[in-house]
Amino acid sequence: MRVFLGALLLMCFLFAATAARADIYRSVDENGVVCYTDVSFSKADERVMKTPSAPARQKESPGREPAKKEFHGIVKEKAAKYEMDPSLIHAVIKAESNGNPYAVSRKGAKGLMQLMPTTANDLQVSNPFDPEENIDGGTRYLKYLIERFNGDLTLALAAYNAGPKTVEKTGAVPSITETRQYVKRVLALYGGSTRYPVSSIASAVSSSSPKERQEPIYKVLTEDGSVLFTNLPVSRKNPRF
């Protein structure tokens, strides 16, 4: 009886500890003592419980849009902050990273809006994998490009992908397959106008031809009191020259 009770207690303990992750085997030693373990020590051991396999995870639907569901609040906040259409930001995120905040391209672009290291540094984005920082920096950069190209969203998106200087060389979307496909995809996802409203100041600066257009300069006062001049708007408080 003692052997039976001891075996029963041991079996209950093992069932509670391993029921979710292992099989249970019953063995009898040379003294007739019954033992239950989660490891089989000989072919004579009898498996008395088999742990069911975990159900397979359902594959995500091809039409799922993680960016809109998971980062909607951040996009809405940053779009309002920089006077941008949130649908455009969602379209860029979808095309750039498909909503993956840890995405890294072959060229080193990082995060939801795929910021290159130099661009992230200019925008003072310390952690491009942080959704809020990345969306804030990416939205600011896209706003800057739209103003730089006088509201031409097609050219601004081309510049976002290939760089503004590459676009300014011809004043059109460069004949780069990746860039052309990227612009086409974002515009299809966005479904809005290819003309984007810009401020009067931005229009005046961008009224010249692409080759003659001068880059805007922003004055930044750092925490240690140093003055930094950059061609990217670090924040809306920075004066423009």
Q: Give the β-pairing of 34-37 and 218-221.
A: unpaired
| CB neighbours of residue 89 within 10 Å | 26
Rg value, the chain, Cα: 30
Q: Give the mean pLDDT per block of 10 residues along the chain (241 residues).
A: 48 47 69 69 69 44 48 95 95 96 95 96 96 97 96 96 95 94 96 74 37 54 65 58 48
Select the CATH number that applies to the domain covering 66-214 from these four: 1.10.10.10, 1.10.468.10, 1.10.12.10, 1.10.530.10: 1.10.530.10
Prediction pTM value: 0.57
Q: What Cα–Cα distance (Å) separates residue 129 from each residue in 27, 106, 110, 117, 192?
A: 53, 16, 7, 12, 28
**Exposure letters 193-206 (e unless 16+ CB within 10 A, then b):** eeebebeeebeebb
How wide is the angle at C-alpha 79 spanned by C-alphas 163 and 96, nearest 5°? Answer: 40
Residues 64/120/116/75 CA torsion (nearest 10 deg): 20
In this prediction, residue 27 carries a pLDDT of 74
For CATH 1.10.530.10, list the domain ranges present in the chain: 66-214
In the set 77, 83, 96, 133, the catalytic residue is: 96
Q: Is 96 a catalytic residue?
A: yes
